[in-house]
Chain A
Amino acid sequence: MKQKPDNKILKEPSEGTEEGTKTVPAPSVVSRRHVVAGLSVVMAGTLLTGCGTLIQPGGMASGEVSTAEEAWRQSLLREIHDIARQWPEMDDRTRQQIEDQAINPLRDNEHILIAGLDQYTRPVAIEFQAMFELALSRRLQHSLVKSVTLIIHTDRPATPLCHPKGQVFADALPEAIRNDTRRLMTILNRTVTLRSLCSMAQPEFRCITAWSRGGTGQLAATERKMFEQAIADNSLPGLINMPLEAASIPPELSGATCIVTGQGGEEIVFALNGQQVWNSERNAVWQYWFGGRRHERINRHLSRLDHFLQQAGITVPQLGGRGPAV
């Protein structure tokens, strides 16, 4: 297409010279084609990525969820889905249940409950947690996250740290668990995934095991020894032992909470509420929160946990509490 002579050269108004005139430095040829092409690029960028104003963590009103956080959440769920497909020694039925009862519902909801008999729900809820830990390890290895704070807040020290890597002290467990391969596997798999996370040497990763006063006294001798070894283990630099001043943890706060900050500053919370294996009852209700920390329900859960931990003598700044960092 030929260009119209009038549009061939566009001269900008001059500024900054004594004479009030200035020659526009080359290149000064701007055609309509260039303008259209430039605008098309901007438009395509806007349409593909959004306008960008939501991806400013500090600027969002409470309760809003940013596009970046939602994208991060969905990509992690996809990764967990892929991990579930390759998860070793898991029957297809459990695999399908994890997909239908945890992964898929969390795609559309930031908070879900998994309910039913402990023998059916524990493998779904805890294997899902193990898969999350593995996915997080991978992201840390590839520097895809800026920082991770994982807090395990349970009456006794984190169960996987009380058993050797890849093994379970079956004798130390309740009889119902000891005779249930699927529930035994939940402990065994997490002895690997949690240690893998804690072995991360990055300064931006920390795993705090916070447990009630007297929690280690309730452990079997083998479990206590293993836990003490894990705490002293130099190959687990990310692990921090934090005994609480509280005598017990309220059932609705027993579990684990992970706050992940992405490279873009987005903050994602992955939290679980449930009972430890020694305290399992016949019927169980597990709660999962997964989403941006500004989501109302997630924010509420973090506030309650923060309040409890502060009363029990621990301040975790990442939870929103003020005070010296642990």
Chain B
Amino acid sequence: MNIRKILQVCHHCKPGQQLFRVAGLCLLSIILMTGCARHQEPIQPVQQELAGCEACQGEAEALRQGMLNTISELVSADNELEEWQKQQIQAQAILPLREDNTVVVTGIDHQIEPVAHAVASAFEQAAEILSRDADNAHPDQEHPLRFERLSVHSGESGKVAWVVLSKEGVKLVFEVEEQKSCSRCDSVIWNYRFGCSPDAPVILQQEQ
């Protein structure tokens, strides 16, 4: 293969220079035609996610708020939790999740871990109740039909996720993820994510 012949350059020209020019011009053309990568990926507002995608038309948000109501009621009625614990569960997870589908809580491990476990436990109970209700419900009633619990552990970090499937095909994912950020000072980050995510079950199963 004669590179000079392909690039149509004479013996005075260096094929490397010509290749660089061609590549540079191609890249520039691509940038000018398609815009730069940063322009193509603006950070999307969270509210847009909450509004619901085209598929669910906001049904996921209604289901999400309904589940948060059930979780809140379960926490309030739990006699094993002290009042300050109930307040912390509300302040750290339930109230923020009412407005946004991701919440980042940082703190010292032993101080915020019990809250995260209580939130996870309340969610599982809520999903069980709604699932049980759905089994006995009238076909027209809007309840999730089933839920699935998935756990992913990687090193010191762990993630538990529940996938709730409604009869309308809405897929809600609730994730509780722990990220150990520092072993010296016991700092930890807990991420709560609760939202409509059609692809999440597949992704989670692949992670497992």
Residue positions of A touching B, CB distance < 8 A: 1-2, 36, 39-40, 42-43, 46-47, 50-51, 53-54, 61-65, 67, 93, 96-97, 99-102, 104-105, 109, 111-117, 120-121, 282-283, 285, 295-297, 300
> Within the complex, what minimum Cβ distance (angstroms) separates B186 from chain A?
8
> Within the complex, what minimum Cβ distance (angstroms) separates B187 from chain A?
4
From B14, B39, B42, B187, contact of A97 by CB (8 A): B187
Q: CB within 8 Å of A: which of B176-204? A: 181-182, 184-185, 187, 189
From A1, A61, A112, A300, contact of B106 by CB (8 A): A112
Given known pairs A36-B24, A39-B24, the reply for A50 and B38 (CB within 8 Å) is: yes
Pair B12/A115 contact, Cβ less than 8 Å: no
Given known pairs A67-B38, A96-B184, the reply for A285 and B88 (CB within 8 Å) is: yes
Pair A116/B181 contact, Cβ less than 8 Å: no
Pair B84/A105 contact, Cβ less than 8 Å: no
Pair A54/B38 contact, Cβ less than 8 Å: yes
For A2, the closest partner residue in chain B by CB is: B12
- For residue B8, CB closer than 8 A to chain A, the reply is no
B residues contacting the other copy or chain, number (CB 8 A): 44
Pair B35/A114 contact, Cβ less than 8 Å: no
New A-B contacts (9) at CB < 8 Å, excluding given A39-B24, A39-B25, A102-B106: A46-B36, A50-B39, A63-B46, A97-B185, A97-B187, A100-B106, A112-B106, A120-B107, A297-B99
- For residue B104, CB closer than 8 A to chain A, the reply is yes
For A4, the closest partner residue in chain B by CB is: B10
Pair A51/B35 contact, Cβ less than 8 Å: yes
Of the listed residues B91, B92, B182, B187, the one surrounded by the most CB atoms of chain A closer than 10 A to its CB is: B187
Taking CB atoms, residues of chain A closer than 8 Å to B31 are 43, 46-47, 51
Pair B103/A120 contact, Cβ less than 8 Å: no
C-alpha spacing A2/B36, complex, angstroms: 35
From B47, B91, B107, contact of A121 by CB (8 A): B107
C-alpha spacing A100/B27, complex, angstroms: 40
- For residue B66, CB closer than 8 A to chain A, the reply is no
User: Can you list 14 A-B contacts (CB < 8 A)?
Assistant: A50-B39, A51-B31, A53-B35, A53-B39, A63-B44, A64-B44, A93-B184, A99-B182, A105-B104, A105-B189, A114-B106, A285-B92, A296-B48, A297-B99
Pair A93/B185 contact, Cβ less than 8 Å: yes
Pair A42/B28 contact, Cβ less than 8 Å: yes
Pair B107/A116 contact, Cβ less than 8 Å: yes
Of the listed residues A1, A47, A113, A121, the one surrounded by the most CB atoms of chain B closer than 10 A to its CB is: A113
Pair A43/B24 contact, Cβ less than 8 Å: yes
Taking CB atoms, residues of chain A closer than 8 Å to B21 are 36
C-alpha spacing A117/B10, complex, angstroms: 76
For A39, the closest partner residue in chain B by CB is: B28
Pair B88/A114 contact, Cβ less than 8 Å: no
For B38, the closest partner residue in chain A by CB is: A50
C-alpha spacing A116/B13, complex, angstroms: 69
Taking CB atoms, residues of chain B closer than 8 Å to A283 are 84, 87-88
Q: CB within 8 Å of A: which of B1-55? A: 12-14, 17, 21, 24-25, 27-28, 31, 35-36, 38-39, 42-48
C-alpha spacing A51/B33, complex, angstroms: 12
C-alpha spacing A65/B187, complex, angstroms: 29
> Within the complex, what minimum Cβ distance (angstroms) separates B170 from chain A?
22
C-alpha spacing A211/B100, complex, angstroms: 29
Given known pairs A63-B44, A63-B47, the reply for A285 and B106 (CB within 8 Å) is: no
> Within the complex, what minimum Cβ distance (angstroms) separates B200 from chain A?
20
- For residue B157, CB closer than 8 A to chain A, the reply is no
- For residue B115, CB closer than 8 A to chain A, the reply is yes
Given known pairs A63-B45, A100-B106, A296-B45, the reply for A115 and B184 (CB within 8 Å) is: no
C-alpha spacing A132/B105, complex, angstroms: 20
Pair A65/B42 contact, Cβ less than 8 Å: yes
Taking CB atoms, residues of chain B closer than 8 Å to A50 are 36, 38-39
